[in-house]
Amino acid sequence: MAEEEEEGQWTLEVTPTWAVATVCFVLIAVSLLIEYGLHLLAKYFKKQRRKSLIQALDKIKSDLMLLGFISLLLTVCEKPIANICIPRSVGETFIPCPRMKSDGEEESKCEEQGKLSFLSRKGVQELQLLIFVVAFFHVFSSFLTFSLGIAKACFLRQFYRSVSKVDYFTLRHGFIMAHFAEGSNFDFQKYLRRALEKDFGVVVGISFWIWIFSVVFIFLNAHVFYNYFWLPFIPLAMLLIVGTKLQGIITRMCVDTNDKSHVVRGTLLVRPSDHYFWFGRPKLLLHLMHLILFQNSFQLAFFTWTWFKFGIRSCFHHETEDIAIKLVMGLLVHILCGYVTLPLYALVTQMGTSMRKAVFTEVVVEGLKKWRVKAKKKVALRNNSARRSLDASITSLDTSASFSTVDGVSFRVELVNRFGDAPDTEFSAVEVGEDDSVGLVAAETTEHHQN
């Protein structure tokens, strides 16, 4: 107790209750304000019928909740983790910085055994701070990416500089001719915006394999890998590969169209197909962009965390050039991906074989869903009425027809049933099982006149 008081590390038993209550009140108030802000944002999206953005917001909430659970588990398991001892030879491998002499009480148990703590209490607390920074940058990068993509699609009205004007109109005309009737007034621009919102819903989430990558990234921060030489360039290289592939798809479609000489109203008629994409899967490019954005935001979060916790001149940042490269590459990748590559992907992937769900507006989707429910109810009512009529027919025929039955064997009876406005009468073979179930198994069209 005396040592803790000398170091200024007071426990709650000797801390004023008003101080504890004040801290709790501030934390609760800030959390409620954030939660209320997200609620208002979801309400606004719902009012605007932006279902894709609502789903993206729900993904952000679930990711933040998962990060909160991880932080809570670290808090609960802080002492047990620190009490795990490992051999000193193992503990001194794959470290990002030279190990300093430990003076923490939590490691005294391991020091008595001549070992090192698996992860000290101080290290667990620093890891909790890293999780908070990752959560902040995840939300910030998602908002930045989507804002840039929407700005490109809305304010410039076209995808210039991502793709030439001629290519844009060619792709638009090919999509409309492939999926709609000639002379259709389909709004391709609004459709691309809805498609971009759906793509954002995929990019904003953190899947299991993305978490695996984040763990690998933390491991690669060991000094022996010299990751400050090559790691910042990986997102940019992957982004250039994806952008080159998208431009190549446009070029190949135009070349194939030119070879076949399909020209409609002065515009080349491109033929959408999945075979232009890697493995015939257009979504693969979106998953790569998802990885690029998360990797980039994770690197920026890691850089900010090391700067705040260890200083700008720590072993994580050896030279001024390293700092400049990380910052420039991080910002450049986010701007290029949000402003150029993601809108280009939203345009080029419309050239796939199938048409995306975003082709329908939210109003149309809701109308189709209601129509589907009503159609199912009508079919169910029609089937029930048909079953009742069949049961009645069987009952009426039971007095005049004679049947021979054998245990365990089904028997058949031919019934007269007229369907709709059909010109002929259809004989339906009805199978009656042991459980008294009646099922229509075959039908023949013939003329039958009842005397």
Residue 31 in domain: no
Cα three-residue angle 141-147-150, rounded to 5 degrees: 140
Residue 207 in domain: yes
- Give the pLDDT score at 26: 93
Residue 109 in domain: no
pLDDT digits (tens, 9 = 90+) for 38-73: 889 888 888 877 777 888 888 888 888 888 888 888
- Give the chain's domain count: 2
Predicted confidence band of residue 29 (pLDDT cuts 50, 70, 90): very high
Structure tokens belonging to residue 99: 């190990």
Residue 292 and residue 378 in one domain: no
Residue 102 in domain: no
Q: Would you say residue 412 has pLDDT above 80?
A: no
Residue 423 and residue 317 in one domain: no
How many angstroms from the chain centroid is the CA of residue 9?
Answer: 44
Residue 332 and residue 432 in one domain: no
Predicted confidence band of residue 269 (pLDDT cuts 50, 70, 90): low
CA–CA distance, 138 with 444 (Å, rounded to integer): 64
Q: Would you say residue 440 has pLDDT above 80?
A: no
Q: Which of 228-237, 298-307, 309-318 has the lowest mean pLDDT?
A: 309-318
Predicted confidence band of residue 158 (pLDDT cuts 50, 70, 90): very low
Predicted confidence band of residue 423 (pLDDT cuts 50, 70, 90): very low
pLDDT digits (tens, 9 = 90+) for 88-113: 878 778 887 766 654 444 456 777 77
In percent, how much of the chain has pLDDT > 90? 1
Residue 435 in domain: yes
Predicted confidence band of residue 323 (pLDDT cuts 50, 70, 90): confident
- Give the pLDDT score at 85: 84
Residue 133 and residue 168 in one domain: yes
* Residue 426 burial by Cβ neighbours in a 10 Å radius (0-12, 13-18, 19+): middle
242 vs 320, residue with greater confidence: 242
403 vs 138, residue with greater confidence: 138
| 440-450: average pLDDT | 39
Range of the domain at 438: 373-397+408-446
Residue 243 and residue 212 in one domain: yes
Q: What is the DSSP letter of 183?
A: T
Residue 154 in domain: yes
Q: Would you say residue 402 has pLDDT above 90?
A: no
pLDDT digits (tens, 9 = 90+) for 187-243: 666 777 777 777 777 777 787 888 888 888 888 888 778 777 788 888 888 888 888
Predicted confidence band of residue 25 (pLDDT cuts 50, 70, 90): very high
Residue 251 and residue 324 in one domain: yes
Predicted confidence band of residue 312 (pLDDT cuts 50, 70, 90): confident
How many other CB atoms are found less than 10 A from the CB of residue 182? 8
Q: Which of 142-151, 390-399, 405-414 has the lowest mean pLDDT?
A: 405-414
Residue 420 and residue 338 in one domain: no
Q: Would you say residue 37 has pLDDT above 60?
A: yes
Residue 10 in domain: no
Cα three-residue angle 330-333-335, rounded to 5 degrees: 105
Residue 135 and residue 169 in one domain: yes
pLDDT digits (tens, 9 = 90+) for 349-395: 766 555 555 545 555 555 666 667 777 777 777 777 766 666 666 66
In the chain, what is the straight-line distance between the N-terminal and C-terminal CA atoms, in Å? Answer: 108
Residue 227 and residue 260 in one domain: yes
Residue 33 in domain: no
Residue 178 and residue 317 in one domain: yes
Residue 290 and residue 423 in one domain: no
- Give the pLDDT score at 180: 62
- Give the pLDDT score at 430: 39
Residue 296 and residue 415 in one domain: no
Identify the CA nearest to 430 among candidates 450, 420, 415.
Answer: 415
Q: Which amino acid is at 226?
A: Y
Q: What is the DSSP letter of 338?
A: I
| 322-348: average pLDDT | 82
CB 149 within 8 A of CB 342: yes
